[in-house]
Amino acid sequence: MAITKHRGIKIQGIVNVIPELSEDNLKLTIIDENERQKLVNHTGIRYRRISKLPVKNLFSRGIKEAMEITGWTIDDIDILICVTQTTELSIPSVACQLHGDFNFNQQTICYDINSGCSGYVYGLHTIASLLSTINSKNPRALLCCGDVSTHLLSSDDTSTQPIFSDAISVTAIEFNQNDDTITARFNLETIGKGQSAIYTEINAQNKKIMKLNGIDVFAYSVKYVPQNIKALIETAQTPDELPENYIFHQANKLINDAIVRKLNLNIDRVPQTLSLYGNTASASIPITLCTCLNEIKNWVLLSGFGVGFSVASALIKLPDFVPHKTIEI
C-alpha cells in the first residue's frame, strides 16, 4: 500500500476553466420524459458542460489566469504536469505543446499523466514528490488537469450522456525547503481488475467512444474508496490533521452518497458541485474545493476514484489563503 507523506508543499492558487455551453438533463431526449426528473434526483446532475475547444486550449487559458492570481511568471515554473485522457494529439504531450506555446524554461520538467477521475490526487502526489528533489529554495509547479470527453460519448448512450461533462483546472503548488512540517499525506491504490468499469472502444463507424458500467463503478467505489480514506486518516499524527471537509471526485450522487454513508460523514462537510457541472473527471476535485476554500482553514481530505480502477486520497494542509477563480469561457 503506497501511503506517503510530504513536507513543505503548499497549494498557492487554483483556477477552474468551465465551458459556458451547458446541456440540461431535464431536456435530454434520449431519456424518457417521465424518467428525467428521477435521473436528475439520483445522479445529482442537472447540467453538463460542453467544450467546443480542445483540452489544450482550456489548459492554456487556465495557465494564463493562474499566473495572474498568483503573481508568478512563466520563468518561475519548475514543473508543468498535465493530467488528461483526452488530448487532441497523442504526440507530443500536451505539456510539451504548452511548454512551446508559453516558452517555459528549458529546465522545466514537463510531461503528461494519463489518468481520469483519480488524476488530481495522482498529479498532486507526483508534484509533491518532484518538487522536494529540485535544488532551489522555493520551486514551483503547475498542475493542469481535466478532460474534454463529451465528444467521446455515443449520442444514444443513456449511461454516459447524462453524466460526463467538460472542464479543466490549474493548480499552482510551491515547495518551501525550510518548512519541515508535514503538509500532505497520500494513499494511492489501483484495482486493475476493475479496468472494464470505464473504458473506450472503437465502434462500427471507427469512432472512439467511452463506455461506462455504472453498476461496477458503484461497486468498486463503495468497496474500495472508504477503506482507502480510513487507512489514510489513520496516519494522521495529531487531531489537528483530521479533516473538517471532504472533497470527493464528483462521480454521481448515488456513488458519492454511498461513500458518505460508509464513512458516516456529516453531509454538510462534503460539498457537491454535481448539479451545476456534472462529472468533470480529474477537474471535479479542484472545482468542488474552490466552493469552500474560504471556509477551510486547516486540513482537507481529497479523494479521487474511477477509471482504472484507480483510487487516490490525500490529506492536505491548506494555507490560510488560497487565491482561486472559476471562469466560464
Partner 1 sequence: MSLPLTEIEIFLDFTASELSISQNSISLETRFRDIPTWSSLNALIYISRINEETNVLITSGDLSEIDNLGEIYQLIKERKHGHN
Nearer to partner 1, 116 or 162 (CB): 162
Piece in contact with partner 1 (CB under 8 A), picked from 32-40, 118-126, 291-299, 303-311 = 32-40
- Taking the complex as a whole, the smallest distance from the CB of residue 23 to partner 1 amounts, in Å, to 17
What residues between 256 and 315 interact with partner 1 by CB under 8 A? 258, 261
- Taking the complex as a whole, the smallest distance from the CB of residue 213 to partner 1 amounts, in Å, to 5
- Taking the complex as a whole, the smallest distance from the CB of residue 222 to partner 1 amounts, in Å, to 6
Nearer to partner 1, 11 or 163 (CB): 163
Binds partner 1 by CB under 8 A, chosen from 26, 29, 33, 38: 38
Among 147, 70, 62, 150, residue whose Cα is nearest residue 326 = 62
Under the criterion CB under 8 A, does residue 158 sit at the interface with partner 1?
A: yes
Piece in contact with partner 1 (CB under 8 A), picked from 47-55, 58-66, 236-244, 251-259 = 251-259
Q: How far is CA 121 from CA 99, 143, 302, 312, 313, in A?
A: 22, 10, 7, 6, 6
Nearer to partner 1, 39 or 141 (CB): 39
Nearer to partner 1, 39 or 95 (CB): 39
Piece in contact with partner 1 (CB under 8 A), picked from 45-53, 219-227, 272-280, 292-300 = 219-227
Nearer to partner 1, 55 or 217 (CB): 217
Under the criterion CB under 8 A, does residue 191 sit at the interface with partner 1?
A: no
For partner 1 (CB under 8 A), the number of binding residues is: 19
Binds partner 1 by CB under 8 A, chosen from 69, 254, 318, 329: 254
Under the criterion CB under 8 A, does residue 209 sit at the interface with partner 1?
A: no
- Residues in contact with partner 1 by CB under 8 A are 31, 35, 38-39, 42, 158-159, 213-216, 218-219, 222-223, 254-255, 258, 261
